[in-house]
Amino acid sequence: MQNPFQNGDNNEGPNGLPVPPNYATVKNENGDVRIAKVGFSWTVLWFNLIVPIFRGDWYNLLCMVGIEMGVLFGIYSLPTNNMVSYAMSVASVAFNLVWAGLYNLMYFRHLFNRGFKPATDRSKELLTRVGYLPKAMR
């Protein structure tokens, strides 16, 4: 199969298939492999809390829901209905942008806490360059 990406050294996918340059591959001791994008998550921007459900990322789902519920309960304590509806709209957009910017970092950090390590030198370099890899693993 011809590699559709510019550099030919990223055949980290299943059965040696190439992965895009902004994706990293991590593996644990049992041989479980996870491939995920590094950087801004457009899927989280559009689908918000559905993404961690499909990834089976229950820890980050509960963190996201807990933070959103805490803020939204605080908004509901505002004195007037006009303020509540405006604040809910602003909070919804703000949470979508915040989670889209942070989710992939949160996902990789949780995988590292569960014993996953970069599968290849290319993934390790990418994760180090963007600051996802903890200093203890560098």
Q: How far apart are CA 100 and CA 105, in angstroms?
A: 10
In a domain, 82, yes or no: yes
Number of structural domains the chain divides into: 1
In a domain, 5, yes or no: no
pTM score of the predicted model: 0.84
Average pLDDT value for residue range 96-123: 94
Residue 92's pLDDT band, with cuts at 50, 70 and 90, is confident
Q: How far apart are CA 105 and CA 87, in angstroms?
A: 27
Which tens digit of pLDDT belongs to each residue from 63-79? 999 999 998 888 888 77
Which tens digit of pLDDT belongs to each residue from 17-70? 788 889 999 999 998 999 999 999 999 999 999 999 999 999 999 999 999 999
DSSP state of 4: -
Domain ranges, residue 22: 14-137
In a domain, 3, yes or no: no
In a domain, 77, yes or no: yes
Instruction: Check whether 7 has a pLDDT greater than 80.
Output: no
The candidate with the shortest Cα–Cα distance to 119, out of 11, 12, 5, is 12
